[in-house]
Chains A and B, each alone.
Chain A
Amino acid sequence: MTEPSVRLEAVTKAFGDLVAVRELDLDIPQGEFFTLLGPSGCGKTTTLRLVAGFEQPTGGRVLIEGSDVAGMPPHRRPTNTVFQSYALFPHLNVRENVAYGLRRKKVGGDEIKRRVEAELERVGMAADINRRPNQLSGGMQQRVALARALVNLPKVLLLDEPLGALDLKLRKGLQLELKRIQREVGITFVYVTHDQEEALTMSDRIAVMNQGRVEQIDAPAQVYERPATTFVAGFIGVSNLMPGQVTRASSGRGQVRLDSGVEFETATDGIGSGERCHAVVRPEKLEITPVDSSQGASATGDPSSARIRPGPTGSEAGRAQDGRPTIDGVVEASVYLGTATQIVVVLPGDVRMTVLVPNADEAERARLPGGGAPVRLSWAPEHIHVVRESAGAPAPDAGDRAPVAETSK
Chain B
Amino acid sequence: MTSPKGRDRSAPRGALRRRAIPYFLLGPGLIWLLLFFVVPLYFMGRLSLESGSLETGGFEFTWEWSNYGHALGDYQDRFVRSFFFAGSATVIALLIAYPLAYAIAFRGGRWKNALLFAVVAPFFTTYLIRTLAWQTILSDDSPVVSTMQTLGLLGDGGRLLATDGAVIAGLTYNFLPFMVLPIYASLERIDVRLIEAARDLYSSARTAFWRVTLPLSAPGVVAGTLLTFIPASGDYINAEFLGGTNQAMIGNVIQSLYLNLRDFPSAAALSFTLMAVILIAVFIYIRFAGSEALMGEEAEKAK
Interface of A is mostly: mixed
In-complex Cβ contact of A104 among B201, B215, B301 (8 A): B201
Find the B residue at minimum CB distance from A154.
B200
Docked Cα-Cα span, A79 to B201, in Å, equals: 9
Docked Cα-Cα span, A96 to B297, in Å, equals: 7
Docked Cα-Cα span, A89 to B194, in Å, equals: 6
Q: Which of B5-13, B116-124, B202-210 contacts A (4 or more CB under 8 A)?
A: B202-210
Which residues of B (180-215) have their CB < 8 Å from a CB of A?
Answer: 191, 193-194, 196-205, 207, 211-212, 215
Find the B residue at minimum CB distance from A145.
B197
Q: What is the interface size of chain A, counting residues whose CB is below 8 A from a CB of the partner?
A: 29
Docked Cα-Cα span, A105 to B203, in Å, equals: 9
Say whether, besides A109-B301, A152-B201, A74 and B193 are in contact (CB < 8 Å): no
Docked Cα-Cα span, A6 to B22, in Å, equals: 58
Contact between A75 and B204, CB atoms less than 8 A apart: yes
Closest chain-A Cβ to B195's Cβ sits at a distance in Å of 9
Chain A residue numbers with a CB within 8 Å of B202 are: 75-76, 101, 104-105, 152
Chain A residue numbers with a CB within 8 Å of B297 are: 92, 96, 99-100, 103
B92: Cβ under 8 A from any A Cβ: no
Contact between A96 and B298, CB atoms less than 8 A apart: yes
Chain B residue numbers with a CB within 8 Å of A105 are: 202
A73: Cβ under 8 A from any B Cβ: yes
Say whether, besides A89-B194, A96-B297, A100-B198, A73 and B204 are in contact (CB < 8 Å): yes
Contact between A73 and B201, CB atoms less than 8 A apart: no
Docked Cα-Cα span, A244 to B198, in Å, equals: 53
A70: Cβ under 8 A from any B Cβ: no
Once A and B bind, how many residue pairs between them come within 8 Å at the CB atom?
A: 71
Chain A residue numbers with a CB within 8 Å of B207 are: 75, 104
Chain B residue numbers with a CB within 8 Å of A99 are: 297
In-complex Cβ contact of B200 among A52, A90, A93, A96 (8 A): A52
Closest chain-A Cβ to B197's Cβ sits at a distance in Å of 4
Contact between B196 and A54, CB atoms less than 8 A apart: yes
In-complex Cβ contact of B196 among A74, A79, A109, A148 (8 A): A74
Say whether, besides A96-B298, A101-B201, A104-B203, A91 and B293 are in contact (CB < 8 Å): yes
**Extra pairs beyond A75-B203, A103-B300 (7, CB < 8 Å):** A54-B199, A75-B201, A76-B202, A83-B193, A93-B298, A100-B198, A100-B201
Q: List 17 A-B contacts (CB under 8 A).
A: A52-B200, A54-B199, A73-B204, A75-B199, A81-B196, A83-B197, A87-B191, A87-B193, A91-B216, A91-B294, A96-B297, A99-B297, A101-B202, A104-B202, A104-B203, A149-B201, A152-B201
